[in-house]
Amino acid sequence: MKRRTFIKNASIASAGGLTILNFPVFGKNAPSNKVVVAVMGVNSRGAYHAEKFAEIPGVEVAYLCDVEDGAIKKGLSAVKNAARKPTVEKDIRKLVSKNDFDALVIAAPDHWHAPAALLGLANGKHVYVEKPCSHNPQEGEMLIAAQKKYGKIVQVGSQRRSFPTLIEAVKEVRGGLIGNPYMAKAWYTNSRKSIGVGKSIPVPATLDFDLWQGPAPRKAFQDNLVHYNWHWFWHWGTGEACNNGNHEIDCCRWFLGVDFPTKVTSAGGRYAFKDDWETPDTQIASFEFGNNKTITWEGRSCNSYPIEGSGRGFIIYGDKGTLVNYGGGDYKVYDTANKLVKEIKSNVKADPNNTVSASGNADMYHLSNFIESVRGNATVTASVEEGHRSVLLCHLANIAQRTGTTLQCDPQNGRILNNKVATKLWGRAYEKGWEMTV
């Protein structure tokens, strides 16, 4: 995308007319200060990342890393118009040892996010890691420790934190726009189909399944796992809460200005179909932060009936008004009489069913923020500390769901208190030789 087109697409229509907020998308030295990146996991989201990073002035995509031949073809196709043709390296361990690139971009399956990020940091790379930044809470804590140890930049793929309209909205809410914001509600809906009952078959010749599993303890291959359905198996995925709920839950926490919860509950299950899907397709999670603020999330993976006319979004409730978001950069503000007092519209409409880029090219704000941070011209909008706090809520919701218990948590770090069954899910076992250590 050319810079002119990007600015046009990212412009915001408000009640007072078209406005472009003052946001440093491209640094002054962007064309001359080259940043070289490698992208891991290019079947879907990662191919999009490769394409968009290559379009940022002064950025080159030097390597693509994937373990499946079809995904590699998609990644190469995504950057076919780039000035530089990337080299393919299937083994992430070999890739990070190379010294001719600056940053590792990770869009592999969830069980790879934290281990790959740690490999990148330990080998001197800056890291852009898609949400969720961890497969379990312990990995998030380890990533924070690794970032501090190695001193490199880590940006988590919570792209709404870079949307100009939402940055402005947070400032206004904290400035009293809706009074004291005390409650937030987030939601996500979709019409996902059954994944059926998988059959054990030989691993396709196009897939290196050993590398695909990587840090996860080995399991036999089945035909309903790769590419996308791993999301719904606890061994590799983290369910809809971490897959999509993480975005709006992050916004709720951001707007309310809260960190770690004191109490977490979850209700739901796999209701729509009887198949191999393990994680909830229906989930209502609740998070309390002391006696002052609360967040709820409703996830419906298999029923797309919208809330507030949108398949995803969030609402911030205050004692003097309400802010309603529709999944992208647009929102409305109402007073206590439910009268519309402000409306911000965005050219980019959220598409909850788009697995590549649900928020369209507005993602470029986030990618560019990462590049400018690497260049020293900006600070990341979604640090690993913030990313961990938000995905921790999703992990805790899943732990509450899986154990059927109400979680009491330490407000200083979110750790589970007095619940031995739930605490067992704080971390995970790793394949021998693939253990995460900082």
Tens-place pLDDT, residues 220-237: 999 999 999 999 999 999
pLDDT of residue 281: 98
Full set of structural domains in the chain with CATH: 3-160 (3.40.50.720), 163-196+221-354+384-423 (3.30.360.10)
Cα separation, 78 vs 221, whole angstroms: 28
Higher pLDDT: 29 or 421? It is 421
Given the structure tokens 């770690």, which residue do they identify?
A: 260
- Mean pLDDT across the stretch 33-61? 97
pLDDT of residue 122: 98
- Mean pLDDT across the stretch 183-198? 98
**Cα(first)–Cα(last) distance of the chain, in Å?**
38
The contacts of residue 206 (CB under 8 Å, 6+ apart) are 68, 69, 70
Higher pLDDT: 322 or 351? It is 322
Residue 191 burial (CB count, 10 A): 14
> In angstroms, how far is CA 2 from the centroid of its own chain?
25
pLDDT of residue 353: 61
pLDDT of residue 50: 98
Q: Is the pLDDT of residue 82 over 90?
A: yes
Q: Is the pLDDT of residue 335 over 60?
A: yes
Label residue 27 by pLDDT band (50, 70, 90).
very low
Mark residue 265 as left, alpha or beta (left: phi above 0; alpha: psi -120 to 50; beta: remaining): beta
pLDDT tens figures, 146-170: 999 999 999 999 999 999 999 999 9
Question: Nearest-CA neighbor of 30 among 373, 363, 381?
Answer: 373
160's enclosing H/E stretch is none
pLDDT of residue 361: 77
Cα separation, 222 vs 43, whole angstroms: 19
pLDDT of residue 16: 31
pLDDT of residue 351: 63
For the chain, the average pLDDT equals 92
pLDDT of residue 346: 79
Q: Where are the alpha helices (DSSP H) in 311-383?
A: 363-375
Indicate the length of the chain as a whole number.
438
pLDDT of residue 197: 98
pLDDT of residue 30: 42
Please, what sign has the CA dihedral across residues 163, 168, 172, 174?
positive
- Mean pLDDT across the stretch 273-299? 97
Q: Is the pLDDT of residue 424 over 70?
A: yes
pLDDT of residue 359: 59
Label residue 26 by pLDDT band (50, 70, 90).
very low
What phi, psi does 300 have (nearest 5°)? -130, 95
Q: Where are the alpha helices (DSSP H) in 282-424?
A: 363-375, 384-403, 420-423
Higher pLDDT: 272 or 354? It is 272
- Mean pLDDT across the stretch 241-263? 98
Q: Is the pLDDT of residue 187 over 60?
A: yes
pTM for this entry: 0.91
- Mean pLDDT across the stretch 370-383? 98
Given the structure tokens 């992050």, which residue do they identify?
A: 250
Q: Where are the alpha helices (DSSP H) in 16-159?
A: 45-55, 69-78, 92-96, 110-122, 137-150
Q: Is the pLDDT of residue 58 over 70?
A: yes
Q: Is the pLDDT of residue 19 over 80?
A: no
Question: Nearest-CA neighbor of 48 among 356, 361, 351?
Answer: 356
The contacts of residue 149 (CB under 8 Å, 6+ apart) are 121, 438
**CA-to-CA separations, 182 to 198, 292, 318, in angstroms, rounded:** 45, 7, 6
Question: Nearest-CA neighbor of 271 among 262, 287, 282, 255?
Answer: 282
Question: Nearest-CA neighbor of 271 among 231, 303, 224?
Answer: 303
pLDDT tens figures, 108-156: 999 999 999 999 999 999 999 999 999 999 999 999 999 999 999 999 9
Cα separation, 144 vs 119, whole angstroms: 13
pLDDT of residue 4: 35
- Mean pLDDT across the stretch 266-272? 98
Q: Is the pLDDT of residue 422 over 70?
A: yes
pLDDT of residue 2: 37
Q: Is the pLDDT of residue 250 over 70?
A: yes
DSSP-derived pairing of the beta strands 103-106 and 126-129: parallel
- Mean pLDDT across the stretch 187-193? 98
